A and B are shown apart, each in its own frame.
Chain A
Amino acid sequence: AIQMTQSPSSFSASTGDRVTITCRASQGVRSNLAWYQQKPGKAPKLLIYAASTLQSGVPSRFSGSGSGTDFTLTISYLQSEDFATYYCQQYYIYPLVFGGGTKVEIK
C-alpha cells in the first residue's frame, strides 16, 4: 500500500502567518490528492482535490500544489478559524490512504 507522510506532525503559528504543510507519497499518485481540515469533535471538511483545485466555498487563502510524490498545502494568511488538524489523502490506488495529520496550534 502507498504510504502518505505528512510533515510536520504539529507546529505553532500566529494569526497572519503563512504556513506550509507537506505530504509525501511513497510512490507516485499523479495529482490524485485531496486535503481536509478537521476541528475537534467534528467531521473532516474537504478543502482541496486534484492536488490544487479549491473546493467551492473554501477561502482563497488556502492553496495546494504538487504532483507525483510531493505535495504542499499553503495557508497564505492564517486566520483564527484555521487552527485545526489537516490531512492529505491519496485516491490514485486502493487502499485509499490518509496522511497522519498536521495539527496547527496557536502560538
Chain B
Amino acid sequence: EVKLVESGGGLVQPGGSLRLSCAAAGFSFSSYWMSWVRQAPGKGLEWVANIMQDGREKYYADSVKGRFAISRDNARNSLYLEMNSLRAEDTAVYYCARDSGTDLEYFYLWGQGTLVTVSP
C-alpha cells in the first residue's frame, strides 16, 4: 500500500524543540521531492518546506526559515522536520506530502498528519 505516516507530534513549550518523522511505504521514496505542509486549527494550508530527491536542494517558507530544518534518509524511506525555537503560531497539524514525480511541486500523496501544540 502506498502511504505516508507521520509521527513525533505533541505538546511542547514555547522556545522548545521537536522532531517530526514521516515514514514512506509502497513507492520509491528516493525518486520524489518531499514536503511538509501544516494547518493551524481552523485555518488553511501552509507549505512549510521541501527537499529534493537526494537532499541537495531544500526550500523553506519565510515563517520557519532559520528555525526549522528538513532532511531525509532514503535508506530508511523517511522524511524529517527538526523544529527549533517553537512559537505558539507553530501550533498546527503537520502533514508530510509527496510530489507528483514530475518535479512539479503539487502534492499527490498526503499523510494523515501529526499535531504539534506549542503552549506553556
Contacts and interface: CB of A to CB of B under 8 A. Distances in A.
B55 to A, nearest CB: 17
A71 to B, nearest CB: 13
Given A43-B95, A43-B111, A44-B110, A101 B44 contact: yes
A38 B35 CA distance: 18
A1 B45 contact: no
Interface string A18-53: 000000000000001010101000011110011000
B59 interface: yes
Contacts of B108: 46, 55
Contact of A98 (B45, B60, B104, B110): B45
A87 B104 contact: no
Contacts of B45: 36, 38, 44, 87, 89, 98, 101
Nearest to B93: A43
A34 B106 contact: yes
Which size class do A's interface residues fall under?
20 to 34
B100 interface: yes
B107 A46 contact: yes
A32 B103 CA distance: 12
Contacts of A55: 108
A55 B111 CA distance: 18
Contacts of A49: 100, 104, 106
A93 B94 CA distance: 22
Contacts of B35: 96
A98 B106 CA distance: 10
A36 B107 contact: yes
Nearest to A9: B44
Interface in B83-120: 95, 100, 104-108, 110-113
Interface string A75-99: 0000000000001010100111111
A17 B86 CA distance: 44
Nearest to A1: B62
Contacts of B106: 34, 46, 49, 89, 91
